[in-house]
Amino acid sequence: MKVRTLIVDDEELGRKRIRKLLSLESEFEIVGESRDGPEALGAIEKFAPDLVFLDVQMPELGGFEVLAQIAPEKMPVIIFVTAYDEFALKAFAAQALDYLLKPFDDERFAQALQRARTYLNGNETVKIKERLASLVNGLTSQGNYISRIAVKCAGRVLFLKAGEIDWIEAAGNYVNLHVGKQSYLLRGRMSELEKRFDPEQFFRIHRSTIVNLDRVKELQLLFKGEGIVILKDGQQLSASRSCNQRLQSFLEPGL
């Protein structure tokens, strides 16, 4: 069976180099090439590749931001491609994720492919997925929160800036992103989405509601400690007792 492979690099020479080396490997089939992060997310959604060569530094969305937006169940094998020096690469080497440091030679490329084969054969699937999740969580804890998020709408893939989102609500196995008068469904859980947004901007006011603090006009206190968050467009959202108390402490740290 062919290994469906996607190449993501904002430099044509970089894509050409990987394309040439892959042409020598009969079991690998190139299903697409992407020049930036948004294109990569669309291609991953469309082609469901087994393997992705992912450039770390790209305009709009970098490789780690792309990684953070891929659902765990759809995560392909990732081989990072980067111009970072060896010192910077120790962070991802510790997670046992492979990478190609530009400029890489044929032997190093072959080693990366062999590690991909090991994963695809199922020999280390669980261990590597856990380490990949650890990498994403580690990046998030360092403050590298996503700045854009991809959503499907009417057969298209839209890329919303995080700051454009007014509020988010849980909807079964989905979350509903409210942007002005529009709303977009995204498959996933609130707890996972919450980790991907900057907590200085997005605050969970209820188990089913996250709000963009830049959109908040006022907080009204109700009986028994609950509250109502009123947005600048007039939208009213319920705040649970525990979240309301945390919100007050967050907004008024000196009180």
The two tokens of residue 205 are: 């006011």
In the chain, alpha helices (H): 12-22, 37-47, 63-68, 86-93, 106-120, 125-141, 190-196, 241-251
Which SS3 state, helix, strand or coil, does residue 56 take? coil
Tokens 């709303």 sit on residue: 183
For 14, 84, 99, 102, the CA distances from 247, given in Å and listed in that order, are: 47, 39, 41, 46
**What's the pLDDT score for residue 70?**
82
Bridge partners (DSSP) of residue 34 are 8
Which domains are assigned to the chain? 3-141 (3.40.50.2300), 148-251 (2.40.50.1020)
**What's the pLDDT score for residue 87?**
46
**What's the pLDDT score for residue 123?**
57
Which long-range CB contacts under 8 A does 158-164 form with residues at least 24 apart? 158/184, 159/38, 159/41, 159/60, 159/61, 160/184, 162/197, 162/198, 162/201, 162/202, 163/201, 163/212, 163/214
CA count, 13 A, side-chain hemisphere, 35: 3
**What's the pLDDT score for residue 255?**
42
The two tokens of residue 144 are: 């590298």
Planar angle of CA 189, 200, 217, nearest 5 degrees: 95
Q: Taking the model in full, what pTM does it have?
A: 0.57
Does residue 103 have a cis bond before it (omega within 30 degrees)?
A: yes
Q: What is the pLDDT along the chain (255 residues), one digit of tens a residue?
A: 889 999 999 999 999 999 999 999 999 999 999 999 889 999 999 999 999 999 888 877 788 778 878 877 778 888 888 876 554 555 455 454 677 888 889 999 999 998 888 888 875 556 666 666 666 665 555 556 777 787 777 767 677 888 999 999 999 888 999 999 999 988 778 887 887 888 889 999 998 999 999 999 988 888 777 889 999 999 999 988 878 777 777 766 544
CA count, 13 A, side-chain hemisphere, 187: 8
Q: What is the dihedral of CA 135, 140, 145, 150, to 10 degrees?
A: 50
